[in-house]
Amino acid sequence: MMRWIDVLIYARYSNPEPCKRVEKTEEAWQRQLTPDQYHVMRQKGTERAYRNAYCRAYDPGLYACAGCGSILFSSAEKYHAISGWPSFTQPISKSAVKYAFDDSHQMQRIEALCNVCDCHLGHVFNDGPAPGGLRYCINSASLSKLDSPV
Ligand SMILES: [Zn+2]
**Topology of domain 4-146, per CATH?**
2.170.150
- On the question of pLDDT at 67 being above 90, the answer is yes
65, 68, 117, 137: the catalytic one is 137
Question: Can you tell me the mean pLDDT for 33-52?
Answer: 97
Distance 1 CA to ligand 1 centre (A): 21
Distance 48 CA to ligand 1 centre (A): 21
Q: How many CA atoms, within 13 angstroms, populate the side-chain half-sphere of residue 142?
A: 33
Question: Can you tell me the mean pLDDT for 55-79?
Answer: 95
Distance 13 CA to ligand 1 centre (A): 21
| 114 belongs to the catalytic site | no
- pLDDT tens digits, one per residue of 6-30: 999 999 999 999 999 999 999 999 9
Delimit the domains of the chain by residue range: 4-146
Which residue from 117, 130, 145, 120 is spatially nearest to 46, judged by alpha carbons? 120
- On the question of pLDDT at 4 being above 80, the answer is yes
- pLDDT tens digits, one per residue of 87-140: 999 999 999 999 999 999 999 999 999 999 999 999 999 999 999 999 999 999
When pLDDT is cut at 50, 70 and 90, the band that residue 42 belongs to is very high
CA distance 84 to 124: 14
- On the question of pLDDT at 147 being above 90, the answer is no
DSSP at 142? G
Distance 81 CA to ligand 1 centre (A): 24
CA distance 137 to 30: 24
